[in-house]
Amino acid sequence: LKTFAAENDLSPDSRQMSSSLWDGEDFKGDDGKSASILSRGPPAVIHVQNAGEVARAIPDTNGSLRHFRKQLMEAFWNGQIKSLKVYHYPGGKGGDIITVDVSHSPALVEILPDLYPHERVLLELLLESGVNELQVVLIEGVKEESTPDLVLDGRMAEMKTTRSLRSFIQYFNEANFQVYKHAKRHGLGWGTAVIHLTEQETVPVAYILEAINNRVFSRWKKITIEKYPLALDRIEVFARHDHKVFVKKADGTFGVL
């Protein structure tokens, strides 16, 4: 698709993204170097203007992509979508990482196929929070269960939604698994979890810090470190009327940004 982009004068857009860095011994990419979604080079950017171009921008390599491509073409045919941008980031073992930009076309949040209602809500919350870049990641293969949902400001990110505060740790762990497996496959860096606590009026900061700095890590080191160590260094948490960002500090614990 890079060749297709060049032949059709679809050069990659200039982009400013924050880097995700390796800063621990437990979690490293395939090359052991600092990495972000741009670490393997700039993406090929395809400006899709009609249904015919969808077929060339999104490959027919698995059932998930085939269904997504068909639904997207129908959205062009019925006039729901006029244009969009598809990004092809050079990947590792899993091939290209393919995304669809929604940060510059917010209306796509309600139109893109294969998104659950709670995912659309969380995408809208992210856009309202003022993110710079937001892209929906397409599933890489029917056998790959570890494709994070988003590229969020240059980093892979996984979305989770829960009504129960008690489930926060479970969804944090699941998000970590998704990001870790994908990062190992592509040689990428630290990622982000985006968690929506739908029944909380405000983000319970003390509870979350206690959970991730004590319950998560004491459990992690004993049980899961050899399988999939911590791969998250940023957690965005949304409540009904609140939004907080938690970041990994130099000492390995998390604090509020």
Residues 9-51: pLDDT tens digits? 222 232 222 233 233 334 444 333 344 788 778 899 999 999 9
Rg from Cα positions in the chain: 18
Burial code (b: 16+ CB inside 10 Å, e: under 16) for 5-20 equals beeeebebeeeeeeeb
Q: Can you tell me whether residue 72 is helix, strand or coil?
A: helix
**pLDDT of 220 strictly over 60:** no
Contact 67, 113 (CB under 8 A): yes
pTM (2 d.p.): 0.82
**pLDDT of 207 strictly over 70:** yes
Task: Tell me what pLDDT residue 244 has.
Answer: 98
- pLDDT confidence of 81, banded at 50, 70, 90? very high
pLDDT in tens, 96-155: 899 999 999 999 999 999 999 999 999 999 999 999 999 999 988 645 557 899 999 999
Of 247, 249, 189, 251, the residue nearest 33 (C-alpha): 189
Neighbours of 173 (CB within 10 A): 19
Pairwise pLDDT comparison (62 vs 192), residue with the higher score: 192
Place of tokens 């829960």: 162
Burial of 105: CB neighbours in 10 Å, binned 0-12, 13-18, 19+: middle
Task: Tell me what pLDDT residue 173 has.
Answer: 87
- DSSP character string of 146-186: ---SEEETTEEEEEEEES-GGGHHHHHHHHHHHHHHHHHHH
pLDDT above 90 as % of the chain = 51
The pair of structure tokens assigned to 217 is 């890590």
The amino acid sitting at 108 is: L
